[in-house]
């Protein structure tokens, strides 16, 4: 993916963007962000190299 956002849903139900990546050219890239209180995590694929699919190799989320 070249462009994506990581969003979390807060306990109030609102979605908050916690990480944004634009114009990525690396084969592997991490999105890290400060700890947040959330009930859900969403990764939004906005664009890819060929503009036809997105691939996520691994997702890690931790309960703190």
Task: Please state, as a whole number, how many other Cβ atoms lie within 10 Å of the Cβ of residue 34.
Answer: 6
Rounded Cα gap, residues 1 and 28, in angstroms = 9
CA 32, 33, 37, 42 dihedral sign is: negative
**Residue 63, pLDDT above cutoff 90:** no
- Which of these, 7, 38, 35, lies nearest to 20 by C-alpha position? 7
The pLDDT of residue 8 is 98
What tokens does 17 get?
A: 């963007």
Looking at residues 50-56, what average pLDDT do you find?
Answer: 91
Tens digits of residue pLDDT in 9-49 = 999 999 999 999 999 999 889 999 999 999 999 999 999 99
Question: Cα–Cα distance between 19 and 29 in angstroms, integer?
Answer: 12
pTM of the model: 0.89
């Amino acid at each position: 993916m070249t462009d994506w956002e990581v969003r979390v849903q807060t306990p109030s139900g609102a979605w908050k963007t916690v990480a944004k990546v634009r114009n990525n050219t690396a084969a592997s890239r991490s999105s890290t962000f400060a700890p947040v209180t959330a009930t859900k995590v969403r990764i939004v694929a906005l664009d890819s190299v060929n503009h036809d699919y997105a691939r996520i190799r691994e997702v890690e989320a931790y309960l703190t």
